[in-house]
Amino acid sequence: MTIQDSGLRLAINQLKNRIQRQPGIVLDIVGTDYSYIMISKNASKWMEDVLELSSQINFTKFSSLDSKKYIVILRDPIDRWCSGITQYLYGEKVHRDLKNRDVLDLLFSQVHFDWHTIPQVKFLEGINTDDCIFFKMESNITNTNRLSNFQNKVIDFLETELGLDLSKSNITPFKLMDNDAGQNAQYFTKHRIHFEIQTNPRYMEQIKAYYAEDIKLYNQ
């Protein structure tokens, strides 16, 4: 199979004509001075579910918010990209193309494919990071029935600082489907991509270069 025959090339061409969800969507937590910035692949659906347990939330955009503080969940940029590109490949049904070295070269040279792989800093454009409360999402979350350290920190903050009435017993632990070999075939695709990054310095440098600002923010 040549790169011209690859479903990945077709998916890239179709991407140019597809309307993508734009960064800048936040959840305004009614009755507080806080809003939550939704960053794709950073536990955004879990966070939305948690907030809906004890507060009213409104979808809005930065431009409609005044004097707000922002809750932001960050994720290791390389791990986030591996997860995001895995979801993209499965959505386009081209994950089997990873057996082709030309396809892998294309994957790592393109880097950005959809809103799951947009740099995290793009979701923060137009706001002062001094107004943000940052939480770091662990990359090694396992699929258990217990809340992770990161989840406990978020919930404790929501209860203490925002006064939300949350019961941890009612909160479903966040699960990374592509971290579980027993439940999801995406695990193998994600770890194949991880392997390629770790064993190919050129691929690693391409990813680091594209997400340089994300890496700087995450390491701060």
pTM, to two decimals: 0.83
Residues 69 and 72: their CA atoms lie apart, in Å, by 10
Q: Name residues whose C-beta falls within 8 Å of residue 64's C-beta, 6 or more positions apart in sequence.
A: none
The predicted-structure confidence for 78-123, as pLDDT tens digits, reads as follows: 999 999 998 888 877 776 778 788 888 888 988 888 888 999 999 9
| Per-residue model confidence (pLDDT) at position 172 | 76
Phi and psi, residue 143, nearest 5°: -85, 85
Q: Give the closest residue to 157 by CA, choosing from 172, 138, 135.
A: 135
Q: Kindly tell me the burial class for residue 15, based on how many C-beta atoms sit within 10 Å of its own C-beta (0-12, 13-18, 19 or more).
A: middle
> Which helix (H) or strand (E) covers residue 25, if one does?
strand 25-29
Residues 136 and 134: their CA atoms lie apart, in Å, by 7
Q: Give the closest residue to 137 by CA, choosing from 125, 119, 149.
A: 149
Residues 35 and 67: their CA atoms lie apart, in Å, by 10
| Per-residue model confidence (pLDDT) at position 17 | 43
Mean pLDDT of the chain: 80
What is the three-class DSSP state of 172? coil
| Per-residue model confidence (pLDDT) at position 8 | 59
